Structure 1
Amino acid sequence: MVVVQEVAGSNPVGHPKIPFEESFVQTEVKESGRFERTLTVHLDEAELEDAKDRAARKLSREMKIKGFRPGKAPRSVIERMVGADQLRTEAIEEAIPEAVSSAIDENGLEPVTVPQVSAIRDAEEGGIDVDVRITLWPALEAIPDFGGRTIEMERPSVDDTEIDAQLDALRNQFAELEAADRPAIDGDFVMVNLTVLKDGAPVE
């Protein structure tokens, strides 16, 4: 099953508001298992440019840049310092959570666990395509009626030898150690002080 749709951009909690009025994320959903879906989200260059602005502002707050207060350095300065490739990487990491969250909601998916990004690749038409692996809750059409059913359980058989072995193990586990004025024997705990000598002198 493949579902392709354009999803109106949203503003999930914890993500900055997109500065332009409306954006669209193209998504594709493929059934990759009984309870697993692969969600492909496309981010175009305009969205990545916006994400670069947000990433640059974030880096500006984290970096110490001579001549600028924290968070006040322009994007051009940040891009010159970290490089265009690194800023693009930061922008992708900034854009993916919001886009994926919006796409999951709009496609009516209910993940059991945190969705996992499995691939990021450049798209032929520009921008990037992001593949996300999503595990879903199993769907039950109806809950079976278990009323009146019986379950047979086999009662385990335990002999005296096994009981004695478990009791001995518990005694050893919770036993208290006492000093003994005799040579050590098998089963004792001993404390040993070792001194290593070299040419008759102790080695630290």
Structure 2
Amino acid sequence: MTETKTGLEVQETHKHDHDHANCDHDHSADHDAKAPVKLTQEVDIKDAGPCKKHIKVSVSRADIQSRMDDHFKTMVTDSSVAGFRPGKAPRKIVERRFQKEVMGQVKNEVILASLEQLAEDFDIAPLSPPNLDPSSVIIPENGPMVYEFEVEVRPQFDLPAYKGLKLIRYTHTFTKEEIDTQVNSMVEPLGTKVDKKNPAVAEGDYLTLDAIINDGDAKIGEIKDLEIRVNKQLAFRDGVAEKFIEQIGGAKPGDTRDVDIKLSSVVTNEALAGKVVKAKVTVKGLQTLELPELTGEILGAFGCKNEDQFRELGEVVLKRRLDYQQRQSSRNQILELIAGTTNWELPQDLLRRQAKKALSRKVMDMQSNGLSDNEINARVRVLQQDVLKSTAAALKEHFVLQKIAEIEKLEVSDDDLNLEIERIAQQNDESPRKVRARLEKEDLIEALAVEVIERKSLDLVLDAAEYTEQPLPSHDTLITGTAEADAAPQDQGVSKE
């Protein structure tokens, strides 16, 4: 399983703070001869808020003393003490000499063993390491060792029946025009930008613009010489113009149009979060893309021998995208049916910390489903606009699918991960070795394993579902462009016009 009970790990582990020059025993072999002995400990677990537990643990003195005795027995035999031959120093002198060192070692050993036992004995599914600093824990001269901490945990909920769900499957038959558009988009990187002969803004054009962004009478941002691709929507780094083509379409160089931008929920100025502001957009330049002729060299670069095969490839890409949309729709429906009856209150600080992980899982899901880099970037940009809301939805989905995986005893093997890496490599025309190296460098192997286990859970639910087919809603095919600019930049002063 990818989310196990052994996730209770402290941020600092075993420390050595003694002088190794005066101690020649082998730490790594201190306790190899003994199998782990279960600790005697009292545990008090209380709710500390949504998705948070306060845990207080008391480890018996007998267990601590037993471990200290084991250490000292080894040290009497192995340690060097000034004035005595190796292994001949009296026990009491060894204890005085190495008391601080042994206390530190035993403390860390007991904490680690205690946390592992805690995860085994109690139904705790941590979302992050506990806020436990081992250096703040003290072994008293007498009595038990007591430590306490808070940890974010997966919410507890009852999972209703998830087999035989009634779902809607959205279907679509691609037209010749849609396939033409897809084929053209595949060769666009090889195209040449040229000035538009009859300059009027249309979808697909390349537009150079200036913009002044106002919140009422207050100027909150200004953009100069921004070049963008015209799509139905335009996603800035901190906001989305949801009606971009509707509001800018038909404009000519020199024209100024009002464009509404809905700002992100996480803009620097909290007073602007989620607001719709007005951009006065001036068209400065307008170009269109001249596509290359489909030569044998270009077709060969796509592994095709003729234009018919190239069109077939374009249709395959469209069907792959449709499959992704169908699965995303199914995930949303499942979440509404299964999790909709549960009142989940996810704390804001948890959502902020989990946002990056949730987004990484989304990106890998899109990569493994063959979406292009441009499509992924556009979808990610939209998700980032209301990052807390999108993270909350992703976490709820994650909790549901993880719980199904536990009930069904679904697991991720090394072969599963290797196959997934090969699939991503094939979709992105990279070597599996390069993909693995990138995932390891970005610490995303665990996120990949989570994505695989969630897909297994989803497949199980989908295979057992009953479907009603409906046409794909037009809004599911909205195309979003991206702008590398802020609508309300952090360093932009607010002024009255």
How does the TM-score come out when normalised to structure 1?
Answer: 0.49
Q: Give 1 or 2 for the bigger CA radius of gyration.
A: 1
How does the TM-score come out when normalised to structure 2?
Answer: 0.23
Instruction: Name whichever structure is richer in helix by fraction.
Output: 2
